Structure 1
């Protein structure tokens, strides 16, 4: 399923000011990614590129950990970059921001190569992940580090299973609801062709929500309900009200407890050295 980047940009820009209210998991991913990268303690970085800064949660951590580096920071949404600038305030002067699609790296706007390229919760938006990542590898210095986090294929498996079971029950042809995510093994195969593994980690965390509606509202506020080239929300493409109600009922019956409904986030982390 191809991602419509213009719809992604619009959705992120629309919710930029409230993103941090809902981005608990993404914040945890940023902290975990920094922890993993800091375990590579022998490294110092002069030039750092961040792919997909969002509202600046990882950017702020980078500036705190590597205050003397030069920074290039990119994001698809100018509104997100504005939120990042507000968050970091006057922490750092030697930082350049680029409003651009991360997959337009073939039109390389950077005047230097990098010691560290890092990205938190962005790779899942790539339409051409292999080509894009290889292009970024070419922007690394020798012994440079590539660190990333993204979502794995078990993310929201409760939602996907609920849709699948209701489609089957209603004799509706199955369609993909939301994105498909690459496995960590697939990412590893891609990176290991060109770089040395430093660390790969995956974990699953389960969040609780009061209802399926509240969960889906939350997801949309952090961009994860964004759109395919067919237009409209992926989670709602061609889905009628009866099907949605049946899906919510199935979800609640099979994936809830006294605390509410459950939603799994499958987190993948990789650190590689050129």
Structure 2
């Protein structure tokens, strides 16, 4: 069951003010994503101003760093959430003259955008929300100038593996048909295949795992909710059925995964560097 974009927008709108305080992994992903730019920034800016598209700018942390790293850059920053865009605009303050904020669904916006507009496309922890990733990658290739780059980070299928395992155990213990809770993330190989099929030349595609630890399962779930990322593909359940499921899932999570450091939550982090062939 696909996740409603309107629901995603509403959740990020509601959690915009608490996002930065809880998006610890996303901030680490931003730093890692920008490392190739730090090495290549002089070569990128040598021939003049750089036109940048940022997809899913959120509260503007990555936007701010892009403007610092690339002094001649002009950034078009797209996000679905108006509340996130307001915070991003506020963060930039004096640098706002070098950035245009656009409230839009990138999949629709890219399809309507002009050819060969951008030298660089950057996206931090956003591509997991794409409904039509291969089609969107084709559109992004079209709006990129020959020789232009695509840098993005996203989450892989081992993300929250403990949570998914605990839900499965809970459904089976209660004699219910298992459902997927949360997004289904695409694998490294799936991204490779889609990028190449769309026409991108893939230079670097790598992944790693990282873990956060929480005092309790409830704290972990609240942290995910506090950044608006608590979308689910499961059918809605209410009342005693949901309460018993959550209680059993929590018990399974603690029984099988709790350790001295607390309750672990694993993230699989994927990083991509690609280029539009000249």
Which TM bucket (shorter chain)?
Answer: over 0.9
Q: CA deviation at 1:170?
A: 1.8
Picking from 190, 197, 205, the partner of 1:186 is: 190
Q: Tell me which residue corresponds to 2:167.
A: 163
Alpha-carbon distance in 2 for matches of 1:211, 1:187 = 33
In structure 2, the partner of 1:123 is: 127
Residue 7 of structure 1 corresponds to 7
Higher mean alpha-carbon deviation, 31-40 vs 167-176, is at 31-40
Separation in structure 2 between the aligned mates of residue 138 and residue 270 of structure 1, nearest angstrom: 18
Give yes or no for the alignment of 1:61 onto 2:62.
Answer: no
Q: Any conservation in 1 of the 2:160–2:267 contact (CA below 8 Å)?
A: yes
Mapping of residues 186-225 of structure 1, within 5 Å: 186-193=190-197, 194-225=199-230
Instruction: With the length of structure 2 as denominator, give the TM-score of the two structures.
Output: 0.91
Instruction: Report the equivalent of 1:249.
Output: 251
TM-score by length of 1: 0.92
- SS of match in other structure, 1:138: helix
**How many residues are matched?**
271
Deviation at 1:223, TM superposition (A): 2.0
Q: Is residue 2:82 matched to residue 1:78?
A: yes
Helix, strand or coil for the counterpart of 1:134?
Answer: helix
Unaligned runs of 5+ in 2: none
Cα drift, residue 218 of structure 1:
0.4
For 1:47 and 1:237, locate their aligned partners in 2 and report how far apart those are by CA, in whole Å.
51
Specify which structure has the higher proportion of helix: 2
- Matched-pair contact (CA < 8 Å) for 1:2–1:229: no
Q: 1:32 aligns to what? A: 32
Q: Cα distance 1:57–1:239, how it changes in 2: closer, same or farther (>3 A)?
A: farther
CA root-mean-square deviation: 2.1
Q: Tell me how far 1:110 sits from its aligned partner.
A: 5.5
Q: CA 1:229–1:142 in structure 2 vs 1: closer, same or farther (change >3 Å)? A: farther
Look up the SS of the partner of 1:91 in the other structure: helix
Displacement of 1:168: 1.4
Q: Distance in 1 between matches of 2:34 and 2:240?
A: 40
Is the 8 Å Cα contact of residues 170 and 249 (structure 2) preserved in structure 1? yes
1:11-65 Cα distance to aligned partner (Å, 9 max, x none): 1011101110100111111110001343445433610000010011111110110
Partners of 2:178 and 2:214 lie apart in 1 by 26
Report if the CA contact (8 A) 1:9-1:76 is conserved. Answer: yes
Q: Check 1:10–1:34 CA distance in 2 against 1; reply closer, same or farther (3 A cut).
A: same
Summarize deviations over 1:109-141 as a string: whole Å, max 9, x none: 568610001101111111111111211111000
Match of 2:97 in 1: 93
Distance 1:95 1:106 in 2: 17
Q: Distance in 1 between matches of 2:232 and 2:83?
A: 19
Which of residues 267, 270, 274 is equivalent to 1:268? 270
- Relative to structure 2, which stretch is displaced further, 144-153 or 90-99? 90-99
**2-side partners of 1:90 and 1:264: how far apart?**
38
For 1:43, the equivalent position in structure 2 comes to 44
C-alpha distance in structure 2 between counterparts of 1:127 and 1:244, whole Å? 28
Gaps of 5+ in 1: none
